[in-house]
Amino acid sequence: MQTSGRAPGGRIDVVPTPPTPPQPDEAQQTRRLLAWMGSGLLAGGMPVHEVEEDVREAAAALGHDGIEVAASPTGLWVTLASGEPATFEAVDGGVRLDQLAEVTAVHAALTAGTLPAAEALQRLSVLRQRPHRYPAYGVPLGSFLVAVGIALVLAPAWSSIVFAAVISQVVAGLVLLGGRTLFVGPLLPFLAAFTSSAAAFALAERGLVDAPLWTLVPPIAVLLPGSLIVTGLTELSAGAMMAGTGRLAYGGTQMLLAALGVGAAVAVLGVPLSSLDGARPEGLGWWVALVGLVLIAVGITLLESVPPSLVPALLVTVLATFVAQSIGNLAGEGPWVGAFVGACAASLTATLIEFVRPQVPRVVAFLPSFWLLVPGSLGLVSVAQIESSPTAGVLAAVEVLVIVASIALGVLVGAGLAHPLRSMTTRLSPTRRAFVRQLARRPARGPRRPGPPTS
């Protein structure tokens, strides 16, 4: 289109009107919706095969049964049919549990057919704009509670508990700094492990803490890649070879950085090898573990901005995992039995909670249980023991690999046992139907520039 006007002197100028940018068609909008939803699930740490299944379910509800989707930990491709245009969406960092809960809620509403695609797209476009529920104290207080809770479970000695309470604040400061500084972020596992190790070994030399190798773990447990490694093994077991291999490589690198931090502290302080003994400190009693579970659940709520209404669900899942793991350990066949039974219980309990309370997504209730199964903590202690006794360290590392594999197997078995329950859930009980209708009526939060979920 052109517009004309008379210039001074009688000359007529013709000014072309900028063309109107083409509006995205329905197919493009659908691909974008599915891609954003999938990238949000991936950012929450879900295995790629589960993400692909969820994307296919949502696509089928939107009338696209021939969809093709290929997911990896860093992004996914979506096309509505073979040979048609495809959309790629990268995963730009992780999301909090409250944001992951929003993505799974949108998926549930789309699958139920109670949320229009346009509104679902709007919800996902503002996902990362959701403010933290506890912006002032969430990270420091959450880190404090989680560290103390894990200390009560792993190293139940008063000196270890006080150490975890203090050093957790230093680690929380490093985490906040890592989110703002490109230099600190990649080195965060090394820096946190070095800080905690140096403090633990220095205090142990003065007789102020016992079992420094276990004492140094609780403050940095939230940074250890135990869940990442288990997820990678789960993906390998499900046939997602590239995704599983990539996660294992990344998780192994993070674990190596943490182990190097411990080794650097040993070298700088000249720590005697006797201080690297892997014996745990003496316990305070059976009750401390229960207190630790409550602190872990509340701490996760603060760290991950989880709504207070979901705390009971997190606590039930963590408690069921702990009880099952303890019963398995009583079998006397080795810690791998407890890890397997605990992982099964975590998966089953999370699915049962979702069935009873649809507003609690299964994955949100399930993920915190990894911090209780502590494969990352065990792995760091085992690798660090190589400094003092290579033979004992290697044997301990092999035992940890068996435990991690047992957890992955338990997750798969638990998911298989829970599959009939998930199928029943998708048929929409009256409670779930009311819930997804409520989702469809809930307004989205404030605008943001178009784009995928970002942290």
pLDDT at 306: 87
Look at residues 83, 113, 130 and tell me which one is the last residue of a structural domain.
Answer: 130
Domain shared by 112 and 153, yes or no: no
In a domain, 455, yes or no: no
Nearest to 269 by CA among 209, 204, 342, 346: 204
In order, the DSSP letters of 260-327 are: HHHHHHHHHHT--GGGG--PPPPP--THHHHHHHHHHHHHHHHHTT--GGGHHHHHHHHHHHHHHHHH
Contact 368, 222 (CB under 8 A): no
Query: How many domains would you assign to the chain?
Result: 2
In a domain, 64, yes or no: yes
Domain shared by 126 and 151, yes or no: no
Structure tokens at 34: 């599915």
Domain shared by 291 and 234, yes or no: yes
Look at residues 114, 130, 146 and tell me which one is the last residue of a structural domain.
Answer: 130
pLDDT at 375: 55
In a domain, 9, yes or no: no
Domain shared by 196 and 285, yes or no: yes
Q: What rounded mean pLDDT belongs to the chain?
A: 80
Domain shared by 35 and 162, yes or no: no
Contact 44, 23 (CB under 8 A): no
Domain shared by 414 and 383, yes or no: yes
Interhelix angle 430-441/97-112, rounded to 10 degrees, is 110
What type of residue is 126?
V
Is 328 in a helix, a strand, or coil?
helix
Domain shared by 43 and 192, yes or no: no
pLDDT at 448: 38
**From residue 334, how far is each of 406, 414, 429 by CA, in Å?**
11, 20, 41
pLDDT at 380: 63
pLDDT at 277: 65
Domain shared by 60 and 197, yes or no: no
In a domain, 238, yes or no: yes
Query: Tens digit of pLDDT for each residue in 128-141?
Result: 888 888 887 888 89
In a domain, 1, yes or no: no
Instruction: Please state, in angstroms and rounded to a whole number, the distance separating the CA atoms of residues 162 and 156.
Output: 10
Range of the domain at 103: 26-130
In a domain, 443, yes or no: no
Domain shared by 151 and 122, yes or no: no
Q: Give pLDDT tens digits along the chain (455 positions).
A: 545 555 555 555 555 555 544 455 788 999 999 999 999 999 988 899 989 999 999 999 999 988 999 999 999 999 998 888 999 999 988 889 889 989 988 998 898 888 899 999 999 998 888 888 888 788 889 999 999 998 888 878 889 899 999 999 999 999 888 878 888 888 999 999 999 999 999 998 888 888 888 888 889 988 888 778 888 888 888 888 999 999 989 988 988 898 889 889 988 988 776 666 666 676 677 788 889 888 988 998 998 898 888 888 888 888 888 888 888 878 766 677 888 888 888 888 888 887 777 667 777 788 777 777 765 556 566 666 555 566 666 676 677 778 778 888 888 888 778 767 666 655 544 455 455 445 444 544 443 333 444 43
Contact 89, 76 (CB under 8 A): yes
pLDDT at 450: 38
CA-CA-CA-CA torsion for 154, 159, 162, 167, nearest 10 degrees? -80
Nearest to 221 by CA among 249, 193, 195: 193
- ∠ CA 268-271-273, rounded to 5°: 135
pLDDT at 436: 45
In a domain, 356, yes or no: yes
Domain shared by 378 and 418, yes or no: yes
- ∠ CA 391-392-398, rounded to 5°: 90
pLDDT at 38: 95
pLDDT at 455: 38
Query: Tens digit of pLDDT for each residue in 27-71?
Result: 899 999 999 999 999 998 889 998 999 999 999 999 998 899 999
Is 400 in a helix, a strand, or coil?
helix
**From residue 242, how far is each of 40, 72, 91, 224 by CA, in Å?**
20, 8, 16, 22
Domain shared by 163 and 89, yes or no: no
In a domain, 14, yes or no: no
Domain shared by 281 and 378, yes or no: yes
In order, the DSSP letters of 340-363 are: HHHHHHHHHHHHHHHHH-TTS-HH
Instruction: Please state, in angstroms and rounded to a whole number, the distance separating the CA atoms of residues 237 and 405.
Output: 10
